Chains A and B, each alone.
Chain A
Amino acid sequence: DGGITQSPKYLFRKEGQNVTLSCEQNLNHDAMYWYRQDPGQGLRLIYYSQIVNDFQKGDIAEGYSVSREKKESFPLTVTSAQKNPTAFYLCASSIARERGEQFFGPGTRLTVL
């Protein structure tokens, strides 16, 4: 089955820790995205990547980092510099950045202890 997988489903972070969220797709899509969803605020873009070894900051990139070493994978690291990381994180992909339909993974819920 083609699709997007995210792991883990739930993640707990202690103060001062870096954590990495996994996103993998087997749709052969070039573009991949990370969004953050908070209650009452809708989805906001953290980072996006149009091609391997290239990525750009979105609207709320501070405290996050990404890499795109393989077409299939776009991991997100939430660093200790992110002051309010508790949220629902969603990964998405599309064939092309401007016109392609975006497909989403099941999400990772991150909670700071």
Chain B
Amino acid sequence: KQEVTQIPAALSVPEGENLVLNCSFTDSAIYNLQWFRQDPGKGLTSLLLIQSSQREQTSGRLNASLDKSSGRSTLYIAASQPGDSATYLCAVINYGGSQGNLIFGKGTKLSVKP
């Protein structure tokens, strides 16, 4: 059964710092991996989608990498800003029994202090 883990559960950094959020998964047979942002009481905003054949994706100050063989993905945020404060969720879509369904980690709550 696929399990997705995100470490750390919470992170506090000063404004301007570059930071890395980690995501690991136990089964490397995935279709894709998706990173989301969630603000308190709101829905999820899709940040980046990495297909299984890709190694990384970039959007603005965000860069996500994928290493299927080691079961890891990282989300790199450059020059962090207070507006980046939110919970970041990682999710994978498996091959196999629960095909097509997103399996989520519990998220990393990021606080960027001015």
A interface residues with partner B (beta carbon < 8 Å): 4, 6, 31, 33, 35, 40-45, 48, 50, 58-59, 88, 90, 92, 97-99, 101-107, 109
Contact = CB atoms under 8 A, between A and B. Distances in A.
The dominant DSSP class at the B interface is: strand
Contact of A109 (B41, B49, B93): B41
Contacts of B100: 31, 48, 50, 97-98
Interface of B: 31-32, 34, 36, 41-46, 49, 51, 89, 91, 93, 98-102, 104-107
A89 B10 CA distance: 23
B105 A45 contact: no
18 contacts: A42-B105, A42-B106, A43-B89, A43-B91, A45-B102, A48-B100, A90-B43, A92-B102, A97-B99, A98-B99, A99-B32, A99-B51, A99-B93, A101-B34, A102-B34, A104-B43, A106-B42, A107-B43
Contacts of A105: 43
A70 B34 CA distance: 27
A23 to B, nearest CB: 11
B31 A98 contact: yes
B58 to A, nearest CB: 15
Given A40-B106, A41-B106, A42-B104, A98 B93 contact: yes
Given A98-B93, A101-B49, A102-B102, A42 B43 contact: no
